[in-house]
Amino acid sequence: LPVGIGPHASLKQLRIIEKQAPENKAFVLSSVDELEQRRDEIINYFCDLAPEAPASTQPPDLAQVTVGPGLSKDPSLGPARKPVALDVAFVLEGSDKVGEASFNRSREFMEEVIRRMDVGRDSIHVTVLQFSYMVTVEHTFREAQTKADILQRVRELRYQGGNRTNTGLALHYL
């Protein structure tokens, strides 16, 4: 789910990311102010991509069943469901073009999105990259995948600054 912010967002790169999967939808925003205005729309779209948790059901009424040899499987267990994992990468620009105030607002937005996600080892995995003249991997898929750990790392993110915007290198890390 690519989100491009500001006049320097590359529409070409956003469209390339968008075409990687049918559920991808690019959001092109003029500024961080628009990000705040469209926050709920983006978060809802993003959260709708995650698989729904199976609804809890009432246990079936038990009945006496006689089965032949080798058929002693408990039918009340139903088919086993394997949890579906979803990998989410946040790629955050930290260059001078964005500025520290807009960077901080983008970081707060990312924090809110993560708070609303079902993050965990068997559900949603998160990585966070920051880029400007260089790319910094702030949190990887290999690190702890608990909501508390990831939110702590996001809160600790510091604006890099820099006069280059190296989007291509950041995407190469993914």
Q: What averages of pLDDT result for each successive group of 10 residues across the chain (174 residues)? A: 78 80 82 83 78 56 45 47 73 91 93 90 89 91 91 95 84 78
Q: Which two tokens stand for residue 111?
A: 């924090």
The pTM assigned to this predicted structure is 0.62
Answer whether 159's CB lies under 8 Å from 94's CB. yes
What tokens were used for 74?
């408990």
pLDDT value, residue 68? 42
Domains contained in the chain, CATH given: 3-49+82-173 (3.40.50.410)
Sign of the Cα torsion 149, 150, 155, 158 reads positive
Which pair of structure tokens corresponds to residue 13?
A: 């790169």
- The CA distance from 1 to 130, in Å, is 16
| pLDDT of 138 | 93
